[in-house]
Amino acid sequence: MSAPIPRPRPRLFLALWPDAAVRAALREQVLCWGWPDAARRYDEADWHLTLHFLGNLPSERLAGLRAGLAVDVEPFELVLDRAELWRSIAVLTCEPVAPALLRLHAALGQALQRLGLEPDARPYRPHLTLARSAVGAQLALEPPRIAWPVRGYALVRSTGDPRWRYDAVQQYPDPQCKPEPHLIR
């Protein structure tokens, strides 16, 4: 008799999730780019801005994470105003980075440490990925200016299921800052 197959550990991350108005502006931006045939554009349901990647953690840790990752959110506006190619990755970034975003990132990093998790030591480079394998993509002629009202964030897990890539485990505090079920593929 063979041993049972272990259940995969969920890949968890903290992210900002765009609302419908921001997704519409992002969609317009994507249409302004010239994409090479090899580009793998992200579906709009997958658009997000990662705050921290937690990695593969045992499911038993979810309850503690849900409670321990709650931090105060100061509402702010994030403005995505730069289109860039990072090697083969097409991204939208912000310059300068909103101080409130940096404070949220730092507060979540401290919460991770209290939970015994080590945040990424690399400098934080907030960005929203539009496509991979985008070498040769032609950026839009006009720089973007996408105003994103941030009211909360989400703890999200990658499902591994091609029908829907992400599942919101917890929203903090605004229920609008998560993948919307009708958009998740």
Q: Could you tell me if residue 4 is inside a domain?
A: no
Q: Could you tell me if residue 183 is inside a domain?
A: no
pTM to 2 decimal places: 0.86
Q: Could you tell me if residue 180 is inside a domain?
A: no
- The set of catalytic residues is 48, 127
Residues 40-51: tens digit of each pLDDT: 999 898 899 999
Q: Could you tell me if residue 60 is inside a domain?
A: no
> What confidence tier does 158 reach under pLDDT thresholds 50, 70, 90?
confident
Number of domains in the chain: 1
Q: For residues 108, 113, 119 and 125, what is the CA-based torsion angle, rounded to 10 degrees?
A: 30
Structural domain harbouring 104:
20-52+72-153
Q: Could you tell me if residue 149 is inside a domain?
A: yes
Q: Could you tell me if residue 124 is inside a domain?
A: yes
Question: What is residue 101's three-state secondary structure?
Answer: helix
Longest dimension (CA), the chain: 63
Omega before 18 within 30 of 0, i.e. cis: no
Residues 6-56: tens digit of each pLDDT: 555 568 999 999 999 999 999 999 999 999 999 999 989 889 999 999 999
Instruction: Identify the CATH number of the domain in which residue 109 sits.
Output: 3.90.1140.10
Q: Could you tell me if residue 1 is inside a domain?
A: no
Q: Could you tell me if residue 94 is inside a domain?
A: yes
C-beta atoms surrounding 110 within 10 Å? 11
* Mean pLDDT value of segment 152-159: 92
